[in-house]
């Protein structure tokens, strides 16, 4: 990417006269390339973007000057070369500097959930994923090179460009996932004899189980028993490897499902969505929804209706 910084013409969109980002209220209407599921652009705007969310994965690669991102109640000051991955549906704000540039990727990853072990990535992306030479020294250069390759493919307008980009995206997610689980397997002092594949298989099975049964009345004891741990040992390991508690992870997964349902079916009663996503009452659903989105389910839906935002 750096080799082309002096040539803005190199980053012309594959479709002529393609429109810019479209913001309506707090939701962004993602303008993918027509008949595709992604968009990449070289951004030199001095304007920022107010707090918003969208159903696409956003990847930011800072190239010149700093770029400030506020997401999940945390501020990330990106320096040249820094990479930030923002999960779908996460509220975030972008603050630009008077001068600078960055690459921004918006990618629909919903189809990846059909893979049996994709849920193993969920704990990693409960928060934005910051990848710098200091924070992820073992994989940073690989991730940077993969993203550079994606941009080169996109702007080359070549045959099979979208399919090729998704194969590179899978390489990125695999690299991040393998690094995460290998590192945490090494840190598990209570199980020094556990090999990485065995550790991963146990955890992947657990997350897949929760992904299938999140709408049921799951308890910590039930899930711990599923993988053969005591609830105390399970709680410690779960927090160690996901950086959150079992309860918070389950609520987060349920709210993600609720957001998807609110967007896909705008006439389905909120009460029905609450029960279909595993909540026993509307009060707990509203409280949990507000915790992760800063608005109630009804407010979320009203924004969609009032602004007539396409899905």
CB 130 within 8 A of CB 87: no
Summarised one tens digit per residue, pLDDT across range 181-219 is 777 666 555 554 444 556 667 777 888 889 899 999 999
Would you say residue 309 has pLDDT above 60?
Answer: no
Q: Which range of residues forms the domain containing residue 9? A: 2-181
Would you say residue 231 has pLDDT above 80?
Answer: yes
Choose the weakest-confidence range: 27-31, 123-127, 222-226: 27-31
Same domain, 174 and 192: no
Please give the Cα distance from 263 to 55 (Å, whole number).
10
The pLDDT assigned to 215 comes to 95
Would you say residue 41 has pLDDT above 80?
Answer: yes
Please give the Cα distance from 186 to 198 (Å, whole number).
13
CB 247 within 8 A of CB 221: no
Summarised one tens digit per residue, pLDDT across range 58-76 is 999 999 999 999 988 889 9
Same domain, 165 and 194: no
Residue with tokens 């020294």: 137
For 175-241, the DSSP string reads HHHHHHHHHHHHH-TT-TT--HHHHHHHHHHHHHHHHHHTTS---HHHHHHHTT--HHHHHHHHHHH
CA dihedral (199, 204, 207, 212) positive or negative:
negative
CATH of the domain at 281: 1.10.10.60
Same domain, 207 and 291: no
Choose the weakest-confidence range: 118-127, 188-197, 238-247, 295-304: 188-197
CATH of the domain at 105: 2.60.120.280
The pLDDT assigned to 98 comes to 84
Same domain, 176 and 41: yes
Same domain, 21 and 128: yes
- Higher-confidence residue of 14 and 207: namely 207
Same domain, 198 and 154: no
Summarised one tens digit per residue, pLDDT across range 24-33 is 555 555 667 7
Please give the Cα distance from 116 to 237 (Å, whole number).
22
Same domain, 130 and 207: no
Same domain, 58 and 84: yes
Domain count across the chain: 3
Same domain, 40 and 148: yes
pTM for the model stands at 0.78
What is the 8-class DSSP label of residue 23?
E
Same domain, 22 and 151: yes
- Higher-confidence residue of 303 and 195: namely 303
Same domain, 159 and 274: no
Listed residues 181, 200, 225: the one ending a domain: 181
Summarised one tens digit per residue, pLDDT across range 257-290 is 998 898 888 889 999 999 999 999 999 999 999 9
Edge to edge, what strands does the sheet with 92-95 contain? 49-52, 92-95, 67-71, 74-78
Listed residues 203, 226, 243: the one ending a domain: 243
Listed residues 129, 155, 181: the one ending a domain: 181
- Cα–Cα distances (Å) from 305 to 169, 188, 286, in that order, read 33, 48, 19
The pLDDT assigned to 25 comes to 53
Summarised one tens digit per residue, pLDDT across range 137-174 is 999 999 999 999 999 999 988 889 999 999 999 999 99
For the CA atoms of the chain, what is the radius of gyration? 20
Mean pLDDT of the chain: 84
- Confidence grade of residue 6 (pLDDT, cut at 50, 70, 90): very low
* Phi-psi map region of 228: left, alpha, beta (phi>0 left; psi -120 to 50 alpha): left
Same domain, 91 and 7: yes
- What share of the chain in percent tops pLDDT 90? 46
């Amino acid at each position: 990417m750096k080799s082309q910084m002096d040539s803005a013409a190199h980053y012309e969109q594959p479709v002529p006269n393609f429109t810019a980002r479209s913001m309506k209220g707090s939701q962004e209407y993602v303008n993918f390339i027509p008949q595709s599921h992604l968009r990449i652009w070289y951004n030199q705007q001095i304007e920022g973007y107010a707090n918003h969310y969208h159903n696409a994965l956003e990847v930011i690669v800072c190239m010149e000057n700093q770029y400030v991102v506020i997401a999940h109640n945390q501020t990330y000051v990106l320096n040249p070369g820094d990479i930030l991955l923002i999960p779908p549906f996460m509220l975030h704000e972008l603050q630009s500097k008077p001068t600078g540039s960055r690459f921004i990727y918006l990618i629909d990853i919903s189809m990846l959930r059909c893979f049996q072990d994709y849920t193993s990535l969920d704990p990693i992306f409960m928060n934005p994923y910051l990848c710098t030479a200091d924070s992820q020294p073992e994989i940073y250069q690989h991730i940077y090179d993969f993203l550079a390759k994606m941009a080169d493919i996109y702007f080359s307008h070549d045959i099979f460009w979208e399919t090729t980009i998704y194969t590179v995206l899978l390489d990125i997610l695999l690299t991040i996932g393998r690094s995460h689980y290998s590192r945490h397997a090494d840190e598990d002092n209570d199980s020094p004899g556990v090999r990485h594949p065995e550790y991963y298989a146990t955890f992947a099975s657990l997350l897949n189980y929760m992904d299938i049964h999140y709408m049921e009345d799951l308890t910590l004891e039930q899930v711990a028993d599923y993988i053969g741990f005591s609830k105390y040992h399970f709680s410690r390991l779960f927090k160690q490897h996901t950086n959150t508690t079992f309860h918070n992870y389950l609520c987060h997964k349920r709210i993600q499902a609720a957001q998807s349902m609110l967007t896909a079916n705008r006439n389905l009663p909120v009460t029905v969505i609450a029960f279909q996503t595993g909540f026993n009452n509307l009060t707990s659903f509203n409280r949990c929804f507000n915790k992760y989105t800063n608005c109630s389910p009804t407010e979320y839906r009203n924004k969609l209706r009032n602004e007539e935002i396409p899905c």
